[in-house]
Structure 1
Amino acid sequence: MMDLILIGIGTGNPDHVTLEGRRAMAEADLILVPRKGEDKADLAGLRLAILAEAAPHVPVAEFDLPVRDAAHPDYRQAVEDWHDAIALAWAQAAGQAARVALLIWGDPSLYDSSLRIAARLQPAPRVRVVPGITAIQALCAAHAIPLNEVGAPVLITTGRRLREGGWPEGVDRLAVMLDGETSFRHLPPDGVRIWWGAFLGMTEQILEAGPLAEAGPRIVATRAAARARHGWIMDIYLLARGESG
């Protein structure tokens, strides 16, 4: 039975990697590094740089990450098929290694499918999770703000759900992830404040904040320019309703 270690590595700053994470890398027999195409080669490069420092003696197996069929009419089925393909790629790259590690962007528990993909492997591996800094933590730290108001809830959601359902009832703060379409543009901006960040923790980090009516157009333009410059972008934002300043 294979031991599979999922190691959260934070959002781009090598200093985000915990001591536990570094020890787990060093104890692995093999570390898998996904290749996501030339436009995201720097993501693989960052993983390799972390490994060169934390576990230089451990063999690395790079593999091409399958791509989800964005044109599939059934989103959930497309994701299921994609996860099946990734699990197969993991198994092929791992070979007969007994203790295999994967470096997970952010943390394996938050809008990451590594644990669901691991459950598809046969025979089932023994899974260990090493937590990492999430994009939400990195965003709040970068803006020096608390995530929640005193005693109040925060909802973590996606851009797609925000577009399709609007602002959910019963909550005044939203952390929005996986939003490639700046879905906040579809919200009435009055009384809403936004804190946005891209490339969090990396040298390319970009931050914007303010009332949505003013900051929203700036974010749309800044995001488009950054994506064109880098060929990819990872961003996240926090929305607060009932705040004007």
Structure 2
Amino acid sequence: MKQIYVIGIGAGDPGQLTLQAVEALGRTEVFFLLDKGEEKADLAGLRELILRRHATGPHRVVTARDPDRDRAAPSAAYAPAVDDWRRRRADVYERLIAEELPDGGHGAFLVWGDPALYDSTLGILGEVHARGTEDFAWSVVPGVSSVSSLAAKHRVGLNQVGRPVQITTGRRLADQGLPDGVDDVVVMLDARQAFGAFTGQGLHIYWGAYLGTPDEILLAGPLDDALAGRIRAVRAEARARKGWIMDTYLLRRTDEG
């Protein structure tokens, strides 16, 4: 039977690899990488650095083009757009496993951050397995998420004493607002920069982009119009310079706020 590893490789710092991840990298014979285009070539370079350091056994790297995805779809069309993209990505995964991994071989998908948090790899592998065209088993190696890295960089906890924390998306925050009864909200995938709608409401923001990389940017403070504007400007400049951006932030309501 074929064996697939889904390996969390951290938020951007090669030093965030766990010992379990290093062991799995050393056992892998075929690495499946999805090409996201020239704009994110530096991310591909980081993966290559990780493989040079830790893929110690004989191995091959197989690259396939990641299917395009409609990220600008309105909320009503968002779920169907994601379903279509996942189906097309499952077709790619199915072909890679069938054509590139021999029976009894060990293959791996490298996942930014942690595979359990806002990543499609586990669900797509489950879909491929359910099709029944390929007989394989898969196991998951957890990684350091951008959420954990954000909290560490700002030297804060994700929750306050005895209070809950919620992780959500920028799209959901923009559409539904802050969740009731939650004082700490981690926001990911926020192309809309939804934080701007919550200035002057007694919130503190801890924001970070390119976490764990040489391009890392950190900003924090009471969420007023001035700081929201600064984050927007810094974010726009960074995105224009690099062609892409990955950022996340924590919104915190405190008794003093």
Which TM bucket (shorter chain)?
Answer: over 0.9
Counterpart position of 2:78: 75
Counterpart position of 1:52: 52
- Cα offset for 1:101? 0.2
Gaps of 5+ in 1: none
Name the stretch that deviates more: 204-213 or 96-105.
96-105
* Cα root mean square deviation, aligned: 1.6
Counterpart position of 1:165: 176
Counterpart position of 2:235: 223
Counterpart position of 1:24: 24
Q: How many residues align?
A: 245
- Cα offset for 1:59? 0.7
Letter of the 1:23 counterpart: E
Which aligned pairs between 1:198-209 and structure 2 lie closer than 5 A? 198-209=209-220
What is the SS of the residue equivalent to 2:50? Answer: helix
Gaps of 5+ in 2: none
- Cα offset for 1:244? 5.3
Is 1:8 aligned to residue 8 of structure 2? Answer: yes
Q: 2:215 & 2:72 partners in 1: Cα distance?
A: 31
Is 1:137 aligned to residue 138 of structure 2? Answer: no
Letter of the 1:137 counterpart: S
Counterpart position of 1:61: 62
Q: Is the 8 A contact 1:5 1:127 kept in 2?
A: yes
Q: Is the 8 A contact 1:192 1:244 kept in 2?
A: no
Q: Is the 8 A contact 2:199 2:228 kept in 1?
A: no
Q: What do residues 116-174 of structure 1 show as CA deviations (whole Å, max 9, x unaligned)?
A: 11111143631100010011100001011111101110010000000000111111110
Q: What do residues 84-143 of structure 1 show as CA deviations (whole Å, max 9, x unaligned)?
A: 111111222332413210110000001111111111114363110001001110000101
Which aligned pairs between 1:166-181 and structure 2 lie closer than 5 A? 166-181=177-192
Residues 219 and 244 of structure 1: CA distance in aligned 2, closer, same or farther (over 3 Å): farther
Is 1:115 aligned to residue 116 of structure 2? Answer: no
What is the SS of the residue equivalent to 1:107? Answer: coil
Q: 2:135 & 2:122 partners in 1: Cα distance?
A: 12
Q: What do residues 159-210 of structure 1 show as CA deviations (whole Å, max 9, x unaligned)?
A: 0000000111111110000101210111243311000000000011000000
What is the SS of the residue equivalent to 2:127? Answer: coil
Q: 1:46 & 1:189 partners in 2: Cα distance?
A: 39
Q: Is the 8 A contact 1:108 1:131 kept in 2?
A: yes
Q: Is the 8 A contact 1:193 1:244 kept in 2?
A: no
Q: 1:76 & 1:68 partners in 2: Cα distance?
A: 12
Q: 1:71 & 1:176 partners in 2: Cα distance?
A: 18
The correspondence for 2:163, drawn from 152, 167, 174, is: 152
- Cα offset for 1:28? 1.3
Letter of the 1:90 counterpart: Y
Q: 1:215 & 1:243 partners in 2: Cα distance?
A: 20
What is the SS of the residue equivalent to 1:89? Answer: helix
Q: TM-score, normalised by structure 2?
A: 0.91
- Cα offset for 1:2? 2.6
Residues 29 and 177 of structure 1: CA distance in aligned 2, closer, same or farther (over 3 Å): same
Q: TM-score, normalised by structure 1?
A: 0.95
- Cα offset for 1:4? 1.4
| % identity of equivalent residues | 45
What is the SS of the residue equivalent to 1:126? Answer: strand
